[in-house]
């Protein structure tokens, strides 16, 4: 069964197949690295990771995936100036944080993570501006170079804009502007004193936000059209619309065949964003004793085209669901009775089919979760009834390994178990401190240590043999 994917460009679910060489060329708009990414950002990256895993592990396509870092724009420049740091050093720290969080959430490494300011990318931007100028799509004003949208009749195709409603001759020079504005946008910006400046383009200046992604995608993925372009739904306009204008205005070819956009993560029914002050980062959640595997599972628990409301209750429910999953697999591994059962084999095969059908139906992760947990329910019932034998175990394990290749939760959970959220030496030191507190009958301190560890994801269990710890 082929993958069917919703294409924002056509507003239809379409069958996806790669190009002639069978390699999927995919671009994802990454973080603008002026602050640590929050879990709202990571909802997009987790859902895109499921797409990448589906293409690689379920459909067995080679994938060349590029996800950039926007390390020069108004926000990064202002942030670096306020911090008294060079732009590169300022953005380095947030790139390092992104990599930490991506690893914690089990994202597969992509093939390329370019930075906008890499010299080869600046050169590619200069070449793109030259091509646009030759094709009559640019003009210069106040030291900046703009794209004139009136020169491209197809402008607005992705966002379904009304060309008649656009404001002719108006310009948007900022990297941050009203999404409702559909006006000429800046390709190359004049710089003020003290701002980073590049001389590859005349007049000297620095790249506009939209130009960066077009140049990096075309340079690293080759001739257009690329296969899939992904990002958050908030990027449809203006960013992705402007990427299309630049790329197609320069090459005369369609930029991307498919456009995939992930809906917002909400907090109390509001979009999670730094501007609203309602963000949560991965370290924030870990500090509260929440395992990243539960965060990853929550972020993909609803279909990527549906908004997802983040709550502490939903995180707790997901943690309980994952515990049911891992407890079931532990029970399966503990089965010693001889024999195999045709009913079990048939039920496992059914779950595999239902899981694959769900994923290939526009990445329906909610339905895929349903298929997996229905199998968990069946297996627990079979174990309770003594209807599972050692001969069934290999097939069951292979099925869940297949699920995990796409979802990436069980392997992440195992890695967490091997790497507890609190260093082992610290856990053991706190256990000893707790014993000392109990010996002097300071039960308040003993309870405080237990609670502190529990809040950080470590549970203590006392017995006649002593105290043992485990991860929540």
pLDDT in tens, 135-171: 999 999 999 999 999 999 999 999 998 766 676 667 7
- Tens of pLDDT, residue by residue over 87-97, are 999 999 999 99
The number of residues making up the chain comes to 472
- pLDDT score, position 463: 83
- Average pLDDT of the chain is 94
- pLDDT score, position 204: 97
183 falls in which pLDDT band (50, 70, 90)?
Answer: confident
- Tens of pLDDT, residue by residue over 384-428, are 999 999 999 999 999 999 999 999 999 999 999 888 778 888 998
- Tens of pLDDT, residue by residue over 290-325, are 999 999 999 999 999 999 999 999 999 999 999 999
- pLDDT score, position 274: 77
């Amino acid at each position: 069964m082929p993958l069917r994917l919703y294409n924002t460009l056509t507003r239809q679910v379409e069958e996806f197949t790669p190009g002639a060489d069978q390699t999927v060329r995919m671009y994802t708009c990454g973080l603008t690295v002026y602050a640590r990414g929050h879990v709202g950002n990571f909802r997009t990256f987790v859902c895109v990771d499921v797409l990448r895993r589906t293409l690689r592990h379920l459909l067995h396509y080679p994938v060349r995936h590029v996800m950039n870092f926007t390390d020069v724009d108004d926000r990064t420049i202002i942030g670096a100036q306020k911090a008294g740091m060079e732009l590169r050093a300022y953005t380095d720290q947030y790139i390092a944080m992104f990599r930490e969080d991506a690893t914690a959430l089990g994202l597969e490494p992509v093939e390329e993570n370019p930075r906008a300011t890499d010299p080869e990318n600046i050169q590619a931007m200069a070449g793109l501006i030259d091509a646009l100028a030759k094709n009559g799509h640019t003009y210069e004003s106040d030291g900046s170079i703009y794209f004139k949208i009136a020169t491209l009749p197809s402008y607005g195709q992705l966002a379904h804009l009304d060309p008649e409603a656009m404001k002719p001759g108006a310009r948007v020079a900022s990297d941050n502007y009203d999404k409702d504005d559909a006006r000429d946008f800046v390709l190359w910006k004049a710089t003020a004193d003290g701002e980073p400046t590049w001389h590859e383009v005349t007049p000297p200046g620095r790249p506009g936000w939209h130009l960066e992604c077009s140049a990096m995608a075309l340079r690293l993925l080759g001739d257009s059209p690329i296969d899939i372009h992904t990002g958050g739904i908030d990027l449809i306009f203006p960013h992705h619309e402007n990427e299309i204008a630049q790329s197609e205005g320069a090459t005369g070819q369609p930029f991307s065949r498919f456009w995939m956009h992930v809906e917002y993560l909400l907090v109390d029914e509001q979009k999670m964003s730094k501007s609203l002050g309602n963000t949560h980062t991965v370290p924030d959640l870990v500090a509260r004793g929440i395992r990243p595997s539960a965060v990853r599972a929550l972020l993909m628990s609803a279909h990527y085209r549906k908004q997802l409301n983040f709550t502490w209750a939903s995180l707790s429910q997901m943690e309980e669901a994952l515990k049911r999953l891992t407890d079931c697999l532990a029970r399966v591994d503990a089965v010693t009775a001889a024999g195999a059962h045709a009913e079990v084999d048939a039920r496992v095969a059914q779950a595999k089919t239902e899981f694959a059908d769900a994923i290939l139906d526009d990445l329906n992760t909610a339905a895929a979760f349903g298929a997996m947990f229905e199998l968990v329910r069946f297996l627990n019932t079979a174990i309770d009834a003594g209807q599972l034998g050692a001969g069934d175990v290999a097939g069951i394990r292979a099925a869940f390994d297949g699920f995990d290749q796409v979802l990436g939760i069980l392997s992440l959970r195992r890695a967490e178990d091997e790497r507890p959220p609190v260093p082992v030496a610290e856990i053991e030191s706190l256990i000893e401190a707790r014993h000392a507190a109990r010996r002097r009958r300071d039960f308040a301190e003993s309870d405080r240590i237990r609670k502190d560890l529990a809040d950080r994801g470590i549970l203590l269990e006392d017995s006649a043999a002593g105290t043992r710890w485990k991860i929540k």
